[in-house]
Amino acid sequence: MCKHVLNAQVSIRAPCCKQWFDCAECHAETQDHRLAKTTEMAFACKKCKKAFRKDMVNYEESDEFCPHCDNHYVIDAKTPQAALGIEGEDARIDARLLKDDRIKQDPKRSLFGQDFSDRVG
Ligand SMILES: [Zn+2]
Ligand SMILES: [Zn+2]
Ligand SMILES: [Zn+2]
């Protein structure tokens, strides 16, 4: 588990420096080079601790599961911000919160529905 993605299910091996990272940001913080891109990623499942490789070119839905323990490792990243209770999944909502202070001050307004406030704003 790293501080960027709280619910990371796998570690990823950086092809450039051959080290394991929980996410690309961990690599960026600890290394002074860019994360290299590769067509074949090496993963390590955090559940069963086994490593596996995936071809990123022909990546399919079934590839989102650990081949050893069927752990679904491709999930929405839970960031520290989201853990504080702010729903950050919908980019539209985020943008509106930043733009419109009224909605921020009165959370009940959002209960009327997103379409309504979209039309008014
Ligand atoms: Zn690297
Ligand atoms: Zn990280
Ligand atoms: Zn596994």
User: pLDDT by residue (tens digit) across 6-61?
Assistant: 999 999 999 999 999 999 999 999 999 999 989 999 999 999 999 999 999 999 99
Residue 16 phi, psi (nearest 5): -80, -45
Q: Which ligand is nearest to the CA of 77?
A: 2
Q: What whole-number distance in Å separates Cα of residue 31 and Cα of residue 113?
A: 44
pLDDT tens, 47-78? 999 999 999 999 999 999 999 999 999 988 88
Using DSSP, state whether 5 is helix, strand or coil: coil
Using DSSP, state whether 114 is helix, strand or coil: helix
The model carries a pTM of 0.64
> What distance in angstroms lies between residue 62's CA and the mean position of ligand 3's atoms?
14
What dihedral do alpha carbons 30, 36, 40, 42 form, nearest 10°? -10
> What distance in angstroms lies between residue 72's CA and the mean position of ligand 2's atoms?
19
> What distance in angstroms lies between residue 98's CA and the mean position of ligand 1's atoms?
35
